[in-house]
Structure 1
Amino acid sequence: MKPTSPPAARPTAAELDLLQVLWRLGAADAKAVHEALLPERPDASYATVLRQLQVMHGKGLLSRDESQRPQLYAPLHAQDKLQQSLVRDFIAKAFAGSGKALVLAALKGHVNAKERAEIRQLLAKNGDEA
């Protein structure tokens, strides 16, 4: 059973890269994770990926199935739950707890016209449900 609460240890940027791969692949061995990571990080060695997976297991970010060889690693936390936790922390630290300030900062320079239209539709839809 997967924990629903976010991990106590926060993933580093490199660990988030590996989590993205595992969320996409599902449970996988170090070789599969390494091969899937190469297009994004061609400098990553197999040994580094394996070591990082082991560290992440130790931090409580991954489960490890030791009943077979090669061992399979899988995220212990759902992608949306971990992302929500990281965003909550980021809002608290960088925007004094204001989600509105985060959204306004994002809208100022990080959203294109198509994305703005999608956001307007989402807001209109959620406004109808409220």
Structure 2
Amino acid sequence: MKPTDAELEILHVLWANGPSTVRQVHENLSQSRDIGYTTALKLMQIMHEKGLLTRDTDPERNSRSHTYSAAVTEEDTQRGLVDRFVETAFRGSASKLVMQVLGQHKASRQELDEIKDLLSRLDSE
């Protein structure tokens, strides 16, 4: 399941902060963009229906207060988004993606070393 950009923002908040109420997610998102509480609520309800979030009732508050958690991992989500992006934008060529990224953005020495290490590990498999 590919999350929308707005859904991905909510997932980032939950991955970073753990289980949260709609109010907590809304407060976090409001720091960087203008989003209404009801918009955040509706998005999270839709995400729950799509299986992107799980929802628990908070017994200490009331039956209307829910705590949401990400039902998908950040790694699995990133993998799915990258796979789809490589297939659609680069016709399945990972090398074209890497060449485009490295040609467009200056990689730090540490990033280049990490890339070299990864390539060495892949080459020895």
TM normalised by structure 1 equals 0.81
1:59-85 deviations in Å (ceiling 9; x for gaps): 111111135442011111111011101
Give the CA RMSD over aligned residues. 1.9
Q: Could you tell me which amino acid in structure 2 is paired with residue 96 of structure 1?
A: R
Cα offset for 1:129? 5.3
Structure 2 CA distance for partners of 1:72 and 1:82, relative to 1, 3 Å: same
Q: Tell me if 1:65 matches 2:60.
A: no
Percent of paired sites with the same residue: 39
Structure 2 CA distance for partners of 1:127 and 1:61, relative to 1, 3 Å: closer
Q: Could you tell me which amino acid in structure 2 is paired with residue 120 of structure 1?
A: K
- Choose from 18, 21, 30 the match for 2:13: 21
- Choose from 112, 119, 122 the match for 1:116: 112
CA distance, structure 2, for counterparts of residue 128 and residue 13 of structure 1:
35
Q: Secondary structure at the match of 1:64?
A: strand
CA distance, structure 2, for counterparts of residue 127 and residue 19 of structure 1:
30
- Choose from 19, 27, 45 the match for 1:54: 45
1:29-85 deviations in Å (ceiling 9; x for gaps): 0011111112222x1121111111111111111111135442011111111011101
Q: Structure with the greater relative contact order (CA < 8 A, sep ≥ 6): 1 or 2?
A: 1
Structure 1 runs not aligned, ≥5 long: 1-6
CA distance, structure 2, for counterparts of residue 76 and residue 101 of structure 1:
32
What's 2:86 paired with? 91
Structure 2 runs not aligned, ≥5 long: none
**Number of residue pairs the alignment of both structures matches:** 120
Q: Could you tell me which amino acid in structure 1 is paired with residue 9 of structure 2?
A: D
